[in-house]
Structure 1
């Protein structure tokens, strides 16, 4: 279902402005997200009403069909209010694109009548003791999934499972499962950082998934999925891992931007011990602020450059090389590290101001937790890129 031509789509700037308008509400609700171990229904509703989950939803399915860079410009503003909400939007806001990879019948269920959808992904080897069997045209699933970020506010989950084939072999498939089918362990998310993301354990028991709500993981990785029969936008010709990596990096650099805001607010009114003058008069603090601000902006600029480059190249119908894929795979953690190091320098400069619990402390913990994501580790990604630059073969299991 395409958008009606009589209904004008919002511009990227309008979406960014909607996000900016939410900052006061997000700052007020952020502590409650940590306490409740999830973002609130009210905030999730605000994100939906603003149209943020339509940004990467295809026009063929009633969405805006915009560049993913627009989603992550919006995420950056959301992070100025609450780091946990930024994480959910940065990842789940991308995943309508994944739902569009499935056969048309599955898409019609997810986006019935052109509605939006909050889709989470359980693809990072997060299944525990998962069993699948093929029965009467369905895969029947039992098991546990960890790190289900946003499961409380989701409509669907795309989960990666090793399933049996007709000939008795095994293959990886991505399966779409409604959120209502999961049993959520609300006591399972007890962590140092990202408390408010609600990345809990979730269970399925005897869940029957029809074949039309499954696709081969190999087809996802090679851009040969059934959804291409309907969805013609550039995103469906971009390598899956390249965009997926950027969704994590985008959350990190967004939260670093929020820390930058909080630092500026803090030093405007702080008189450090031994200085006897506002911290804004301290040349060292000004230098730290200038350097960190520039580094965070550089990280965000690299993010925007890469994802817009992907979009433009896909629009032109030009295939992506192995070296490009490994560069994107490496740029993601580099973006994260640039943002993390800059934010850490600001926190160190504040000294004792970190001690009170509050938005700065929460964002600091959340950023470090985000940076621990397996896709944000530079060394394994950089090795792949080094191999590609030398024309050496990549490991068989290389995720690019």
Structure 2
């Protein structure tokens, strides 16, 4: 290791630290936090690349670059080692030859140092000094991390006050948001993610995915038991549903494989007094998707729930137990039990596939002729008319109530 390393001293700012690293390595350097927001960067040398320029302009690493780093396994490798990692050029995202190192406290990633080395000229001694620089940056980033966590905790408490209606009127909420630096001349919405086991590791993954996604602007996040809440704002007014759908899918893609996760998106509102309603929509969609994963897997918004909106209303009315089971369902249950058949399953599949014979037969693994025979028997035994849309809708709702609710 170089005994004359410039890192054996204190630095007044992150900018001074980054310039020292850049001077030592004779390469452009950027310093990011754990969510890839730019903290400091050195002045340009003759060598730079498109990815660095975009990062400096937007003050964060472009999402396409982050996604590619995950796909190539670069970020997972960085997160698991204290050693520098040499990264080859990736031309389609504007990335030149890089060397990167994570700044870690035990197992927690605090940030990253990125060095542009277009000529591949860094030596082993240079890499040793880069490792020393990362160690030196640890204390300063720990302080920033502590401040960030305290800020997020306070913001999270405000979000709970807003969604529970305790934060007051539109103007009162506006004032409180302005106090924490959030502009209030735009629409806001609540997005909810629900899991069975939301431990600390998954909280960190969700928070990271939300912070690094650039589909919508993520303003506040908070977590409670099995639910994650995000206050978001569309980047382009009038395009909220498309943007928040991409945001939701991005988070699910990042978490995929860890466990099941169900999302719900509330309506975007300009009257912040309506944010509790946006919250209720988001949470209800996520809850119902957990209960009806097959039927609602393509649903993201409350207005897309269709007949399942009324299941929720019936449950909240307290009158659900007063509803008698549909006689047609009772007859089919009895017939199936006596004949060891599966007509009720056939009916449910037929209704689920909206009467599409080929799709229903495929789902049931039977021939269309067999399905035709079963449907004929269903109508004979139960007395229902499967061409009547009113009866079909009623049967579908009754089946869901019978199977999942009662």
More RCO (CA 8 Å, sep 6+): 1
Q: Highest CA radius of gyration, 1 or 2?
A: 2
